[in-house]
Amino acid sequence: MNPVKNSLMGKIEKAIPEMSKGQKSIANFILSHYERAAYMTAAKIGEDAGVSESTVVRFAMELGFDGYPHFQKVLQEELKVRLTSVQRMHASIKLTDRDDILGAVLLADQDKLKRTYETIDRQSFNRAVDLILGANKIYILGVRSAAPLASFLGFYFNLIFDNVRLVHTTSVSEMFEQILGVKGGDVVIGISFPRYSKRTIKAMQFSRSTGATVIAITDKAGTPIADTADVCLMAPSDMTSFVDSLVAPLSVINALIAAIGFKKQDVVTQTLEKLEHIWDEYDVYDKGDVPHE
């Protein structure tokens, strides 16, 4: 494994020469088994590394953390970017009550919604709404697991605006072909969660270089996605088996649609009235009519 310079793994590797023998044992264990270590107690890591629990706690504090729980949380965050799908599956087994997977996942999602409600920056949210309302053209980027979020946002934005482009792509070159015309006055919304898409990052960087305003919907600050954005809307995305839980990000996107729809309610009402006539004419939706015999 080649730790990234500014990552926790890189920090541990850089500090090894100055560590005591016991601390080196802990460091080597974590570097070799990070996907397991992130969900182990300090006592268990100490047992496997051949040191005491207190040595593990001191190890975390000497790396600059408040204690072992703080260290463990940062390690778990780093895992979301590092782990392969197979490793995520194995790691998640430690998180889930296998006798009630449904309940465990629903409670975890409920917790993420609560955290989002408590921590999301309302000022950034309101700024994002105003920027989107004032955009000449709106581009929406989201690939792989973020693609359904981008499609959902694009579907409703197309009911509100006539200047929306949902970027569909399977390659970097296709993405750039579709955003080639982006310029100042446009707004580009990039959606990405661990493991972050390089395609989305590069497209957001390109868009910003043209003078366009970039809005990110992601999980935290300090990531390439967040660092590329003028405005960042953050919602946690945690591991659930080999997939990510995107409940909180979808809720933020729902709020974004609702806030913009409220500000443009006259336009939305007119559009929906026209669509209702079309839907009726072409029998799009089941209206619960009882068929005549």
Tens digits of per-residue pLDDT, 116-171?
Answer: 999 999 999 999 999 999 999 999 999 888 999 999 999 999 999 999 999 987 67
Closest alpha carbon to 237 in 143, 83, 101, 116: 116
What is the average pLDDT across 106-124?
A: 90
The pTM for the full model equals: 0.69
**Are 135 and 185 contacting, i.e. CB atoms less than 8 angstroms apart?**
yes
Structure-model confidence comparison of residues 2 and 210, the more confident one: 210
- Which of 41, 74, 92 is the last residue before a domain boundary? 92
pLDDT at position 118: 92
- For 175-205, give one letter per residue: b (16+ CB within 10 A) or e: bbebbeebeeebbbbbbbbbbbbebbbebbe
Supply the pLDDT for residue 82.
61
pLDDT of residue 9: 83
Is the pLDDT at 88 greater than 60? The verdict is no
Question: In which domain, by residue range, is 235 found?
Answer: 118-280
Alpha carbon distance 7, 78 (integer Å):
8
Q: Which two tokens stand for residue 251?
A: 């809720």
Domain boundary among 74, 92, 110: 92
Nearest of 102, 62, 105, 110 to residue 244 by alpha carbon: 105
Contact 212, 228 (CB under 8 A): no
Percentage above 70 pLDDT, the chain: 86
The model's pLDDT over 235-290, given as tens digits with 9 standing for 90+, comes to: 988 655 445 688 999 999 999 999 999 999 888 888 888 878 887 877 877 877 65
Beta strands at 239-240 and 243-244: parallel, antiparallel or unpaired? antiparallel
pLDDT above 90: percentage of residues in the chain = 50
Query: Concatenated DSSP letters for 51-79?
Result: S-HHHHHHHHHHTT-SSHHHHHHHHHHHH
- The rounded mean pLDDT for the chain is 85
pLDDT of residue 239: 56
Whole-number pLDDT of residue 220: 86
Among 7-11, 122-126, 177-181, name the one with the lowest average pLDDT.
7-11
255 part of a folded domain: yes
For residue 249, being part of any structural domain is answered with yes
For residues 17 and 76, membership in a common domain is answered with yes
Question: 143 and 67 share a domain?
Answer: no
**Domain match, 248 and 126 both:** yes
Q: Same domain for 266 and 126?
A: yes
- Is there a domain that residue 1 lies in? no
Query: What is the Cα–Cα distance from 40 to 53, expressed in whole angstroms?
Result: 12
Residues 83, 199, single domain; the answer is no
* Residue 74, CA distances (Å) to 65, 151, 158 in order: 9, 31, 39
With beta carbons less than 8 A apart as the criterion, state whether 215 and 189 touch: yes
Among 73-82, 145-154, 190-199, the range with the most confident prediction by mean pLDDT is: 145-154
Residue 86 pLDDT level (bands cut at 50, 70, 90): very low
What pLDDT was estimated at residue 3? 43
Residue 80 — pLDDT band, cuts 50, 70, 90?
A: low
Does the CA dihedral 271-277-281-282 come out positive or negative? Answer: positive
| Residue 185 predicted with pLDDT over 90 | yes
pLDDT at 120: 94
Q: What is the CATH number of the domain that holds 144?
A: 3.40.50.10490
Domain count, the chain: 2
Closest CA to 82 of 175, 197, 141, 3: 3
At 1 the pLDDT is 42
